[in-house]
Amino acid sequence: MTSPTEKTNLLGLPKAKLEAFFESLGEKRFRATQLLQWMHQRGVDDFDQMTNVSKPLREKLKEVAEVRGPEVIFDETSKDGTRKWVMRMDNGNSVETVLIPDGERGTLCVSSQIGCSLDCTFCSTGKRGFNRNLTAAEIIGQVWVARKAFMPFEPGADRPITNVVMMGMGEPLLNFDNVVDAMNLMMEDLAYGISKRRVTLSTSGVVPALDQLGEVTDVSLAISLHAPNDELRNQLVPLNKKYPIAELLAATRRYLDRLPDKRKATIEYTVIEGVNDQPEHARQLSKVLKGLPCKINLIPFNPFPESDFRRPKLTATRRFQTILNEAGYITTIRTTRGDDIDAACGQLVGRVEDRTRRSQRYIQVQQVTP
């Protein structure tokens, strides 16, 4: 995974890969257990502090490996307790990670890519274009930084991170292997020990990768639907032209059917005023989802400067919710958190140097079509 001059960053290696790494050094596999605990449970990145590892092995590790988390360049807590970190990754680009405390629950929203190539019309990340995939170390590094911020834990205190959602910047299924490695570390008892039900991958619907996902993991699933028919979804989520709603929901069902336990998918629906918020859309949605084990999460659109879309009135969102509730769906409205520190959904932009130059194209389009 590295060139001869580069050191292996052990932070991103799930247990099996870390065991293979130690075997390649001629060491015993149980070293992986020790390293996982030092790195992830205790937040240690200095081999010299790993006191149950022999001195010669520590010296060897220093030559060929490193434990390197992302550099934190911004760390602020909102009035409502939401905490946001901006982390600088290797090529100078930054991504954002948000922790949303809610009673005993602490949900960490993690990014999978720098930018996103899918260009959904209502998403500021998409508008900034795509730069690159994050490595597994950079993805789990966000959890590592957030967890370290609460160390040492007070005895008996609530755990600060109980849930992780892959809902930050990027499309996780387009960075498949690294996201799977990072999610395995989230669920690993020797690392973060988060239950598979509480690790959620959110996708806009890369159907073949969703089927592949079911073969390698059993995390929870959130589907970014946003529209009840293909005509409208084609406009909001361009990927729908490749994988339309019926195919996406069939793949979602296949995924749920494979799970060893009974679980519902979360259907995410960003509600945009005058676009997808009419009672007719709610009725269509209730038909389209019929028979799928799911709950629906309505996300009022969060405006951002480059978008003409507007946030819906709360009454319109409530009316939408009532129709779905009456059709028998558990439906929640996501409250906006962390507004004062720009931590809300769709505002996780970071500073992206766009390899696709989409932001420039977008600005030009905006200028010619006022």
Catalytically active residues, by annotation: 96, 345
> For ligand SAH, which stretch binds (CB under 6 A), given 118-126, 132-140, 152-160, 208-216?
118-126
Taking CB positions, which residue lies at the least distance from ligand SF4?
Answer: 126
Binding residue for ligand SAH, selected from 8, 82, 178, 224, defined by CB under 6 A: 224
Residue 8 partner contact from ligand SAH, ligand SF4, none using kind-dependent CB cut-offs of 5 to 8 Å: none
d(CA 149, CA 153): 10
Q: Which of residues 101-120 bind ligand SF4 (CB under 6 A)?
A: 116, 118-120
Residue that has been written with the tokens 């590295």 in this structure: 2
Q: Does 123 bind ligand SF4 (CB under 6 A)?
A: yes
- Is 103 annotated in some ligand binding site? no
> For ligand SAH, which stretch binds (CB under 6 A), given 20-28, 248-256, 294-302, 325-333?
294-302
- Is 281 annotated in some ligand binding site? no
Residue that has been written with the tokens 């959110």 in this structure: 202
Q: Does 191 bind ligand SAH (CB under 6 A)?
A: no
- 65 versus 299: smaller Cβ distance to ligand SF4: 299
Residue 114 partner contact from ligand SAH, ligand SF4, none using kind-dependent CB cut-offs of 5 to 8 Å: none
Binding residue for ligand SAH, selected from 35, 123, 221, 352, defined by CB under 6 A: 123
Q: Are 179 and 201 in contact (CB under 8 A)?
A: yes
Count Cβ atoms below 10 Å from residue 41 Cβ, excluding itself: 15
d(CA 215, CA 209): 10
Binding residue for ligand SAH, selected from 87, 206, 299, 352, defined by CB under 6 A: 299
Residue 299 partner contact from ligand SF4, ligand SAH, none using kind-dependent CB cut-offs of 5 to 8 Å: ligand SAH
Preceding amide of 152 cis, omega within 30: yes
At 84 the three-state DSSP class reads strand
Binding residue for ligand SF4, selected from 94, 204, 266, 317, defined by CB under 6 A: 204
- 89 versus 120: smaller Cβ distance to ligand SF4: 120
Alpha helical stretches, state H, 220-293 = 230-236, 245-258, 279-288
All residues at 6 or more sequence positions from 202 whose CB lies less than 8 Å from its CB, including other chains: 165, 166, 167, 172, 222, 223, 224, 266, 268
Q: How far is the CB of 12 from ligand SAH (least distance, A)?
A: 20
Contact code string over 20-59 relative to ligand SAH, x by CB under 6 A? ----------------------------------------
Q: What token pair was written down for 162?
A: 């109980």
Q: Are 168 and 115 in contact (CB under 8 A)?
A: no
Q: How many residues bind ligand SAH (CB under 6 A)?
A: 18
d(CA 279, CA 324): 10
Give the C-alpha distances (Å, rounded to integers) separating 309 from 78, 236, 280, 346. 25, 11, 19, 13
Q: Which of residues 147-186 bind ligand SF4 (CB under 6 A)?
A: 170-171
d(CA 282, CA 299): 14
Q: Does 126 bind ligand SF4 (CB under 6 A)?
A: yes
CA angle 119, 121, 125 (to 5 degrees): 55
- Is 248 annotated in some ligand binding site? no
Q: Strands 113-115 and 130-133: what pairing?
A: antiparallel
What's at 307, amino acid-wise?
S
Residue 301 partner contact from ligand SAH, ligand SF4, none using kind-dependent CB cut-offs of 5 to 8 Å: ligand SAH
Dihedral pair phi/psi, residue 186, rounded to 5°: -60, -40
At 120 the three-state DSSP class reads coil
- Is 225 annotated in some ligand binding site? yes
- Is 6 annotated in some ligand binding site? no
d(CA 166, CA 359): 24
Residue 252 partner contact from ligand SAH, ligand SF4, none using kind-dependent CB cut-offs of 5 to 8 Å: none
Q: Residues at the annotated binding site for [4Fe-4S] cluster?
A: 116, 120, 123
List contacts with ligand SAH (CB under 6 A): 116, 122-124, 167, 171, 202-204, 224, 268, 270, 299, 301-302, 304, 345-346
Residues within the interface to ligand SF4 (CB under 6 A): 116, 118-120, 123, 125-126, 170-171, 204, 224
